[in-house]
């Protein structure tokens, strides 16, 4: 009963998603080493028992090492495991989802990642295609009842930009008024600066985005807000 079972390999993979003009994209890199050299894969790596204090730490360290990025949104997705996903044997991969504004990715050398539309994913190493599918499903689903899409935008954004983000995530359009009422923004509060979404998370700043039109108030979100009901 106290037989020592062979320990499986344990790694952390990160599904890094961003929003480009044509919709959600996933960041993939080309593997150099065995197994699957030359294949596209998610960024990931082994846990470093001596330096990682948590799984999230390991995920952040992996991204930091490979790209220098520190994503503002990082969430555990699910754990993928089994005897067949890695030719070296029984393995465990704890998968994370990271959301990064497209603008931040300009700082990453273009040789590190290739970006692919999440609705048109090529063949990937290991079970990484499954991980991407699960991540996209999670993001779409969670966006329907939360302020999650805020993390695909820069720190400050207009309501119209946020609306376009939701529309890109879901591939569906709504009217401005409908969008705002879905967020739970009470009419009249945008101008007074008391605008607040249903979850009390969207914060009106005193800055405006100027341009060839009426200036638009800029908002920010500090934490994830959950709506009472799904709405998309």
Partner DNA sequence: CTAATAGTGTCTTTGAGACACTATGGC
Partner DNA sequence: GCCATAGTGTCTCAAAGACACTATTAG
- Contact positions toward its own copies, by CB under 8 A? 5-10, 46-50, 52-55, 76, 78-79, 81-83, 89-90, 92, 94, 145, 228-231
Q: Specify the residue for token string 């009963």.
A: 1
| Tokens standing for residue 136 | 């996209």
Region of 36-44, 59-67, 68-76, 188-196 interacting with DNA (CB under 7 A): 188-196
Residue with smaller CB distance to DNA, 39 or 231 = 231
Binding characters for DNA, 88-127, by CB under 7 A (x = yes): ----------------------------------------
Of 102, 132, 138, residue with least CA distance to 119? 132
Judged by DSSP in three states, 148 sits in helix
For DNA, the closer CB: 54 or 175: 175
User: How far is 179 from 185, CA to CA, in rounded Å?
Assistant: 9
The item of DNA, its own copies, none sharing an interface with residue 195, based on CB under 5 to 8 Å by kind, is: DNA
> In the set 187, 200, 222, 230, which binds DNA (CB under 7 A)?
187
Please pick, from the candidates 25, 128, 142, 180, the single residue that binds DNA as defined by CB under 7 A. Answer: 180
Q: Which runs of E-coded beta strand occur in the chain?
A: 9-20, 23-30, 40-41, 44-46, 73-82, 91-99, 114-117, 157-158, 202-209, 216-221
Angle at alpha carbon of residue 77, lines to 11 and 15, rounded to 5°: 70
Residues lying near DNA in the complex (CB under 7 A) are found at 158-160, 174-178, 180-182, 185, 187-192, 195, 210-217, 229, 231
């Amino acid at each position: 009963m106290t037989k020592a079972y062979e320990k499986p390999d344990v790694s952390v993979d990160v599904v890094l998603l961003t929003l480009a003009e044509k919709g959600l994209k996933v960041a993939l890199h080309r593997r150099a080493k065995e197994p699957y050299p030359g294949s596209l894969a998610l960024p990931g790596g082994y846990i470093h028992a001596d330096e990682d204090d948590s799984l999230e730490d390991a995920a952040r360290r992996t991204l930091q090492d490979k790209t220098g990025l520190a994503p503002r949104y990082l969430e555990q997705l699910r754990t993928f495991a089994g005897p067949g996903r890695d030719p070296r044997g029984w393995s465990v991969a704890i998968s994370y989802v990271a959301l990064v504004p497209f603008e931040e990715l300009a700082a990453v050398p273009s040789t590190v990642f290739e970006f692919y539309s999440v609705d048109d994913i090529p063949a990937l190493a290991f079970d990484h295609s499954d991980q991407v599918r699960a991540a996209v499903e999670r993001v779409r689903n969670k966006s329907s009842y939360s302020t999650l899409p805020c993390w695909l935008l820069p720190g400050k954004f207009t309501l119209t930009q946020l609306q376009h983000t939701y529309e890109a995530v879901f591939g569906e359009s709504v009217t401005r008024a409908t969008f705002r009422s879905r967020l739970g923004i009470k009419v009249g509060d945008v101008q007074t600066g008391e605008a607040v979404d249903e979850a009390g998370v969207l914060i009106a700043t005193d800055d405006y985005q100027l341009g060839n039109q009426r200036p638009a108030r800029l908002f920010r979100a500090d934490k994830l807000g959950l709506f009472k009901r799904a709405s998309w």
